[in-house]
Chains A and B, each alone.
Chain A
Amino acid sequence: MNPITPIINGLKITLSHLFKKPVTLQYPDERPNVAQRYRGLHALNVSHNKAKCVACYLCPTVCPAKCITVEAGEDANHDKYAEKYEIDMLRCIFCGYCVEACPVDAIRMTGQFELANFSREDFVFTKERLLEKK
């Protein structure tokens, strides 16, 4: 084979891409379309102005990375609620088992994927930070 032919074939492909829609995004100016079932940062669902979580401890039990800490408390109506709910994002592997295990649909995973931060402490998401934003 003529040694020039593969080079020309390669250049053809390169040139053809100049006229196609680019695959990459101009992040952060352009934002990706995050799929509905994407497993990003967790959020605690809210109902009647309080977290739906009843502190049943199924998510910390099922969590393979052991990144969820729950401490239950008793509210004024003697009901169980999560006094403390923390996820250590440095340990989380985003498997979504917590969502699957939840019996009361209290936790879901959002499309939020920008989780970089400056200090280790900032990766511990407390209940306040996890509560669904209105």
Chain B
Amino acid sequence: MVNLTIDNRQVTAPKTATIYEAAEMNGIKIPILCHDKKLKPFGACRMCLVEVEQMKGRQIPACTTPVTEGMIIHTATPDIIKARKMVLELLLLNHPIDCPVCDKGGDCDLQNLTYDYQVNGNRFTDEKFHHQIDYNNPLIERDMNRCILCGKCARICDEIVSFGALTFIDRGIETKIGCEFDGALNCEFCGSCVSVCPVGSLLARPFKFKARFWSLTKQKTVCGYCGTGCNLTLGVKDNKVLTTIYDQEQGFHKGQLCVRGRFGYQFINSEKRLTKPMLRKNGTLVAVGWDEALDFVVGKLKGGNVAALSTARLTNEEFVLFKKVMELSGSKDFDHSAGYAHSALTEGFARSFGTTASPATIPDIQKSNFLLVIKSDAYETHPVAGFEINMAVKNKGVVLNILSDKHGKLGKLPGAKTLLHVPGSEIALVNALSKVILDGKKAAGIASSVVGYSQLEQSLSDCSVEAVAATCGVSVNDIIELANDYSAAEKALIVFPVGLAYPGHNAELASAIANLAILAGKIGSEGSGVLCMSEKNNSQGAVDMGFYPSQDGKNAQQILDGCASGTVKTLFIAGENPVVSYPDRTKTAAALDKVDCLIVSELFLSETAAMADVVLPACSFAEKEGTFTAADRRVQHIKPAIRKIGLSRSDFEIFGVLISRLGGEVPVSSATVFSEIASNTSGYAGMSYAALGESGAFAPVDIKPAFVDVKAPGQTRQAGKLALLTGSSLYHCGTMSQYGEGPMHVCPEGYLEISRKDAANNKISENDLLTVTSASGSVQLKARITPRMSEGVVFTPYHFSSASVNQAWNGTEVTWVTLNK
């Protein structure tokens, strides 16, 4: 820490701080336009000029000057104020003063400073710019006439998003922000540039002209898409969520969001939302009152042979109540997300770590020295966690290694190494890494005392690195090098995504990875561990609340089999759309068709809801109170941003009524249910809504490591066929994002990524409609030829109802398909 004087106040600041940061830490405001907490100092705007006595009264920029011991700084002398006024005059010289029609008005840094410094006229005259405005982009509108060239957009796109879509182009007075060759913007559309723009140059097009900033009610909440658990601020007006608002103080990610978080909110106020309960009468669904619908549901639940499937998007409190409903109905058969999506946690980690949670957190990514990412999709499933990886690699020099069956964006980071393997061979590869560590006597000292060490040694004794290398398509040297680097790193973290579309990421892979981490001793300390990135916003919560089958209960697949065979009479589905998202559409749809009574509580009339006997309109995350548990077990409190839509009720209310009708004890409020959770869930002790506050709290993970013998599955390569991988698209999450206009503007339909070689071999060109046929069925998808796929491997995201991939995909790790035009 250094001591310095700012405006006659004695303050202290860390050695690495700049004058601007030191002032901000001590509550002294210095005006600035080109600074953001997350970005490196740039010094473009010259608004933050201050005087330092030791520098003979010269005016220097506060944002780029580091503090030194004994500095005496003045931030607002008459000379400085005069200089700042001139800076503003010069900025306003070319800036069109179109505040009345600019959506940034009210939230504009330039407008606020102009007002603060009372710049009412201009001594200079110059012509305004006449750059062409980009109205064509569906998400980001670019008006470079308003730009003040602070460079924040270009820097955030480069430093954090690592895409580099925007940069300074042209020279001198003509300099402007643009894309390569001044072309159209075609990027990830995360909107980070929009969020940091201090003026109205970059605007969110979906929010264009919708409302003025000051008329919005700002409600802080947690994003309802993936398991990263990003904090959001929703801008609400007239009971409508109109936009998301940037707040650089919010969350571990400092307000940074991805495309679905920032632009995918439209599903909340979608016109397709269900507003009335519906009951099937004479074959068609007709709107009925709640009493009639619930009478019907209660009657069926009392009838016995009940099972339940749930989405992982309910709140923790709702999971507890849903479980109670099932208990009162005398059923032990309930599950979420097709079973395998969370088996990595509930079975794999339960065996290996003695707990059903990841022994690492997302902030550990930046504190680590070595990252091993299994499947490059970690960026696509959890983009904001991907930004953390970007920053770790670029700013902190973290070594990044990727073990994947296709190339991805993470592999383009400086120094990143991608080991491309044959699809479905992750477990064999991870076992081979363990083997190398064992053979090289590089295992951590404590590893030999862990339960199951000798069995692991024995089971790995017949594992040959050369054989694995040959079958996985990776060189022996690469495997040995990776294993040695991993064990040699001081702190090392393994990240892998799990979810509906990642059937190979199951209990076995989790245990294999856990073995590797325990063996190398990379567990239990800051910056080390294994991070299992669960897919949905409350997947970890569903597991923590125990919403998965116990020993004698049926899992999702067995429940569907039960429906087909008639042992399950009533199926209650909350928020899930198995027809589109579960593997093998034909089988799933047939099972749902067969079951006597299908109860669905949903936001939309999804494919599954359309088959139901009774449909209950539920609430989205923006309309209810509760808690979500992120992938790294960060428990966060959400509050309603808008009133409920139509006659819809939250699942909490629906389950509450059902519990009372089934003779159970009715919960008073979600707060009381949460206090119940806090008292009987490990790690949640001491939590309450008040204690969680805005930032939430981590539920600590207590691990008891054990080695588990994992056998790699045999290769099932089929000659002449291509390996179909399923996964997540960057713009979507689950099937809910289909109702968000933002994601649908960018990625409206399914596609099939195919390598150039395969495309050439099969004479396929871009956008050709292909029939993808597997043993279980076929689906039509448009071809997208990319360099990121290797020969013999094709990839498709699973989110879309219009061409649902599960017609051809049956839930095995790799589906072998043929392509026809």
Cα A74 to Cα B203 with chains together (Å): 14
- Contacts A56-B105, A61-B215 aside, 7 further interface pairs with beta carbons under 8 A come to A54-B100, A56-B100, A57-B212, A61-B214, A72-B209, A73-B209, A103-B99
A21: Cβ under 8 A from any B Cβ: no
Distance from B101 Cβ to chain A, minimum over Cβ atoms (Å): 4
Mask, A78-101, CB within 8 Å of B = 1, is 111000000000000000000000
A74: which B residues are within 8 A, CB to CB?
A: 208-209
Mask, A55-75, CB within 8 Å of B = 1, is 111101100000000001110
| CB-based nearest A residue for B100 | A56
Question: B209 contacts A103, CB within 8 Å?
Answer: no
Question: A104 contacts B100, CB within 8 Å?
Answer: yes
Given A73-B209, A74-B208, A78-B133, A57:B101 Cβ within 8 A = no
B209: which A residues are within 8 A, CB to CB?
A: 55, 72-74, 80
B210: Cβ under 8 A from any A Cβ: yes
Question: A54 contacts B214, CB within 8 Å?
Answer: no
B211: which A residues are within 8 A, CB to CB?
A: 57
| CB within 8 Å of B: which A24-78 residues | 54-58, 60-61, 72-74, 78
- Mark A residues whose CB is within 8 Å of B: 54-58, 60-61, 72-74, 78-80, 103-104
| CB-based nearest B residue for A73 | B209
Given A56-B105, A78-B133, A61:B212 Cβ within 8 A = yes
Mask, B759-780, CB within 8 Å of A = 1, is 0000000000000000000000
Q: Please list the 6 inter-chain residue pairs (A to B) with the smallest Cβ-Cβ separation, ordered nearest first.
A: A56-B100, A72-B209, A80-B101, A57-B212, A78-B135, A103-B100
Cα A104 to Cα B101 with chains together (Å): 11
Cα A55 to Cα B211 with chains together (Å): 10
A80: which B residues are within 8 A, CB to CB?
A: 101, 209
Cα A79 to Cα B101 with chains together (Å): 8
| CB-based nearest A residue for B97 | A103
B105: which A residues are within 8 A, CB to CB?
A: 56
A73: which B residues are within 8 A, CB to CB?
A: 209
Query: Of B99, B100, B105, B211, which is in contact with the most chain A CB atoms at under 10 Å from its CB?
Result: B100
Question: B135 contacts A58, CB within 8 Å?
Answer: no
| CB within 8 Å of A: which B199-235 residues | 208-212, 214-215
Mask, B94-106, CB within 8 Å of A = 1, is 0000011100010
B208: which A residues are within 8 A, CB to CB?
A: 74
Cα A74 to Cα B100 with chains together (Å): 14
Cα A83 to Cα B135 with chains together (Å): 19
| CB-based nearest B residue for A102 | B100
A60: which B residues are within 8 A, CB to CB?
A: 215
Given A61-B215, A78-B133, A78-B135, A72:B210 Cβ within 8 A = yes
A58: which B residues are within 8 A, CB to CB?
A: 100
22 interchain pairs (CB within 8 A)? A54-B100, A54-B101, A55-B101, A55-B209, A56-B100, A56-B101, A56-B105, A57-B211, A57-B212, A58-B100, A60-B215, A61-B212, A61-B214, A61-B215, A72-B209, A73-B209, A74-B208, A74-B209, A78-B133, A78-B135, A79-B101, A104-B100
Distance from B16 Cβ to chain A, minimum over Cβ atoms (Å): 43
Query: Of A57, A73, A79, which is in contact with the most chain B CB atoms at under 10 Å from its CB?
Result: A57
Question: A57 contacts B215, CB within 8 Å?
Answer: yes
Cα A89 to Cα B133 with chains together (Å): 39
Cα A106 to Cα B211 with chains together (Å): 19
B99: which A residues are within 8 A, CB to CB?
A: 56, 103
Cα A50 to Cα B100 with chains together (Å): 17
Cα A73 to Cα B214 with chains together (Å): 18
B100: which A residues are within 8 A, CB to CB?
A: 54, 56, 58, 103-104
Distance from A69 Cβ to chain B, minimum over Cβ atoms (Å): 10
A79: which B residues are within 8 A, CB to CB?
A: 101
| CB-based nearest B residue for A74 | B209
B214: which A residues are within 8 A, CB to CB?
A: 61
B215: which A residues are within 8 A, CB to CB?
A: 57, 60-61
Distance from A73 Cβ to chain B, minimum over Cβ atoms (Å): 7
| CB-based nearest A residue for B143 | A78
Query: Of A55, A56, A79, A104, which is in contact with the most chain B CB atoms at under 10 Å from its CB?
Result: A56
Distance from B372 Cβ to chain A, minimum over Cβ atoms (Å): 48
Cα A56 to Cα B101 with chains together (Å): 6
| CB within 8 Å of A: which B119-137 residues | 133, 135
B212: which A residues are within 8 A, CB to CB?
A: 56-57, 61
B133: which A residues are within 8 A, CB to CB?
A: 78
Cα A79 to Cα B215 with chains together (Å): 21
Cα A13 to Cα B207 with chains together (Å): 70
A104: which B residues are within 8 A, CB to CB?
A: 100
Cα A108 to Cα B819 with chains together (Å): 68
Cα A37 to Cα B435 with chains together (Å): 91
B210: which A residues are within 8 A, CB to CB?
A: 72
| CB within 8 Å of A: which B470-503 residues | none
Cα A18 to Cα B573 with chains together (Å): 90
| CB within 8 Å of A: which B12-68 residues | none
Cα A72 to Cα B212 with chains together (Å): 10
| CB-based nearest B residue for A104 | B100
Cα A80 to Cα B133 with chains together (Å): 14
Cα A78 to Cα B133 with chains together (Å): 10
Cα A103 to Cα B208 with chains together (Å): 20
Cα A2 to Cα B208 with chains together (Å): 82
Distance from B197 Cβ to chain A, minimum over Cβ atoms (Å): 18
| CB-based nearest A residue for B208 | A74
| CB-based nearest A residue for B210 | A72
Cα A80 to Cα B103 with chains together (Å): 10
Cα A8 to Cα B105 with chains together (Å): 70
B135: which A residues are within 8 A, CB to CB?
A: 78
| CB-based nearest A residue for B212 | A57
| CB-based nearest B residue for A53 | B100
Cα A64 to Cα B130 with chains together (Å): 39
A78: which B residues are within 8 A, CB to CB?
A: 133, 135
Cα A97 to Cα B587 with chains together (Å): 66
Cα A41 to Cα B209 with chains together (Å): 27
A61: which B residues are within 8 A, CB to CB?
A: 212, 214-215
Distance from B511 Cβ to chain A, minimum over Cβ atoms (Å): 55
Distance from B92 Cβ to chain A, minimum over Cβ atoms (Å): 16
| CB within 8 Å of A: which B694-753 residues | none
| CB-based nearest A residue for B135 | A78
Cα A78 to Cα B215 with chains together (Å): 22
| CB-based nearest B residue for A80 | B101
Cα A29 to Cα B133 with chains together (Å): 57
| CB within 8 Å of A: which B66-111 residues | 99-101, 105
| CB within 8 Å of A: which B172-222 residues | 208-212, 214-215
Cα A104 to Cα B97 with chains together (Å): 12
Cα A72 to Cα B100 with chains together (Å): 11
Cα A58 to Cα B213 with chains together (Å): 12
